[in-house]
Chains A and B, each alone.
Chain A
Amino acid sequence: MQLSREALLRAYRQMKTIRAFEDRLHDEIQAGEIAGFTHLYAGQEACAVGVCEHLGSQDYIVSTHRGHGHCIAKGCDVIGMMKEIYGSREGLCKGRGGSMHIADIGVGMLGANGIVGAGAPLAVGAGISAKGNGTVSIAFSGDGACNQGTTFEAMNLAVVLKLPVIFVFENNHYSEHTGVAYAVGAESMAARAAAFGMRAEKADGIDFFAVFEAMRELIDYCKAGNGPAAIELDTERFFGHFEGDPQRYRGPGELDRIRAERDCLKLFRQKVTEAGLLEGKDIDALDEEVMALIDRAVVEAKAAERPGPEHVVEDVYISY
């Protein structure tokens, strides 16, 4: 562990912000406050943060339908995100995108995506830009997207063009409602990526430090001009595919077990306190700060300006 106290606090704060954001959305959706389809990222925080803590605003990420965590980890404004999910005109995307289409090009976040597997080719394109800038492009995908042909095309093209693209496969064990044991024919996603001719690794996706260290190596490897890489992160999804999913596919006690034994925030706290790097009170203070931020985000989102019919047809084109 080479992280400074500030870096540790920051990483925990990011992970906690994602967790609190998602837990609160779960409650707000249950209360009928939010429209549309929402896919929560809770449980996978160590993946997004373990990757994005290495990145600056000049690095690019492309995300998925389960994108809130990637957005927060890459630096999107949390209050702007909450306003967006509430459909406000003050939202990051003026209320036109919603949960599945949050983007903030200025921080290098090239968009969540409602189409599973659509992001990987876009990340390859960002890799073309990154190659010229000395930065990297990250394609976040799940175990569902790893079966899309677009992902295969993207991996091959990135190898052919030797681009600094890292394909991050977050294996949360479910493609929507279907188990990965059924849907992924290969031995593993990492093995499949390796077969495309790129360096591929695996890491424990609930261990922030494992993700962070593996990504450090892969980013250095890509920036050195070695072409793309891939990593498969074994992680957990604490909620359903979408909010409202009855999750009948889960085994008895499965959710209780993963929340008790495979919680990346608990693991982080345990590791840093046992190693004497942070104290429990440091973490408690961050928890309070984050909860206050999320409370404020919801209050502001509920009070924020609503869009009107006059806003339907705008930004379709820059000029027309």
Chain B
Amino acid sequence: MATKMIRDVIVETIDAEMGRDPDVIMLGEDIVGGNGSAGGPEAIGGIWSTSTGLWGKYGSDRVIDTPISESAIIGAAAGASLSGKRAIAEIMFADFIGVCLDQIWNQVAKFRYMFGGKSRCPVTIRMIYGAGFNAAAQHSQSIHGMVTAMPGLKVVMPATPADAKGLLTAAIRDDDPVIFLEHKALYATKGEVPDGEYVLPFGHARQVTEGDDITVLATGLMVSFAETAARNLAEEGIGCDVLDLRTTSPLDEEAILDSVERTGRLLIVDESPPRCGLATDLAAIVASKAFASLKAPIEMVTAPHSPIPFARELESAWLPSSDKIEAAALRLMSYRRG
């Protein structure tokens, strides 16, 4: 075990997989950086520092710096993966899915199904997402709801350095297309990371805290908000079963339903607007499969139905917070059937 930041875990994991499998390649904007400039290659080394040193080690045929062409990045990663490679594509900001959605939604996700189960497209699409950097409406969004709704994709949202390692290793080795979402506000998060080979299978939620009063579901940055809220609530005698879903597709329905059947109360935290998203989806699953267990209406702490604002005060008001989670928990505990 060693203590590491998520951003370092990402580059180390890609390095390990590229070293292990010569078919693994990587593509993205500025993942090398500096090409064609006076500073020369690796003048940047990736704006998120998640590819530093890889070009020097594996060369231009495997660490492929691309122009700003998201459709071509995803398409090239997909075409290479259909023809024998195992490509990792980086989309610098998940918001840019808007300019490459066809390649993700109509191509990558559907090949195997449309082609009669005879193709394999083991592509990992890394997307950097999330609010908290005052990056405004086009550089802050979470897109997990949209991609979770697409059959054929797997969707991964690590919240800790250890999970980042285990889940990214699994994503790269997976034979299906995987959307791997890295929250920009979590890159500097530190935690213990297992040494050596570490692979986490998809579809298994992580139990963050244990409690018998409320089930709290969260992903990504929201996990730490939920954890803080749970700690405060515990001081007031309210026990929270916080589950970090880790992957939204596949979804660990069993862990969710088991917990709700025990607690009878559900609180969902989601860094997205409220409509047609992960929160409503989880609420629907629980309402239809564990209705009899529920002691109170399901609480959802989400962003409002608005784009993400720029100003510090506005952005923090837009985001869910541990205060909002605690308030929702108290509403759940005080609910009495009329």
Q: Show the binding face of A for B, using Cβ within 8 Å.
A: 60, 62, 84, 91-94, 96-97, 101, 103-106, 110-111, 113-115, 118, 120-132, 137, 149-150, 153-154, 156-157, 160-161, 314-320
Contacts and interface: CB of A to CB of B under 8 A. Distances in A.
Given A110-B79, A149-B71, A317-B152, 8 more contacts: A84-B116, A122-B75, A125-B83, A127-B79, A129-B84, A132-B61, A150-B71, A315-B112
Contacts of B120: 105, 318
Contacts of B73: 157
B241 interface: no
B175 A111 contact: no
Most A CB within 10 A of own CB, among B80, B81, B103: B80
Interface stretch (B62-70, B126-134, B161-169): B62-70
Contacts of A160: 66-67
Contact of B79 (A62, A106, A131, A315): A62
A125 B79 contact: yes
Contact of B85 (A84, A118, A128, A154): A128
A21 B154 CA distance: 38
Contact of B113 (A128, A132, A316, A320): A316
A129 B84 CA distance: 7
B75 A121 contact: yes
Contacts of A157: 66-67, 69, 72-73, 76
Contacts of A127: 76, 79
A115 to B, nearest CB: 5
A188 B80 CA distance: 29
Contacts, number: 156
Interface of B: 25, 61, 64, 66-67, 69, 71-85, 87, 102-103, 106-107, 111-120, 151-152, 154, 174-176, 203, 250
Query: Top 7 A-B pairs ranked by shortest CB distance?
Result: A121-B75, A125-B79, A315-B117, A93-B116, A122-B79, A153-B72, A153-B69
Contacts of B203: 320
Contact of B176 (A114, A150, A317): A317
A153 B116 contact: no
Q: Which of A60, A92, A316 has the most CB of B within 10 A?
A: A316
A92 B76 CA distance: 25
B64 A128 contact: yes
Contact of B115 (A93, A131, A132, A161): A93
B61 A131 contact: yes
Given A111-B111, A316-B152, A128 B69 contact: no
Nearest to A104: B118
A149 B99 CA distance: 10
Given A121-B71, A121-B103, A317 B112 contact: yes
Contacts of A114: 106
B115 A124 contact: no
Nearest to B77: A125
Contacts of B61: 131-132
Nearest to A125: B79
5 contacts: A101-B114, A103-B111, A103-B119, A114-B106, A121-B74
A316 B107 CA distance: 13
Nearest to B89: A125
Contact of A103 (B67, B84, B115): B115
A156 B72 contact: yes
Contacts of A96: 113-114, 116
A105 B82 contact: yes
A121 B61 CA distance: 17
Nearest to B175: A318
A319 B72 contact: no
Contacts of B72: 121, 124, 150, 153-154, 156-157
A124 B75 contact: yes
A154 B75 contact: yes
Nearest to A155: B72
A123 B71 CA distance: 12
A91 B175 contact: no
A225 B177 CA distance: 30
A144 to B, nearest CB: 15
B152 A118 contact: no
A318 B75 contact: no
A125 B80 CA distance: 4
Contacts of B64: 128, 161
A134 to B, nearest CB: 14
A130 B77 CA distance: 13
Contacts of A161: 64
A60 B85 CA distance: 14
B82 A122 contact: yes
B71 A128 contact: no
Given A94-B117, A121-B76, A150-B75, A319 B175 contact: yes
B114 A125 contact: no
B312 to A, nearest CB: 36
A9 to B, nearest CB: 30
B306 to A, nearest CB: 29
Contacts of A94: 116-117
A244 to B, nearest CB: 23
A110 B82 contact: yes
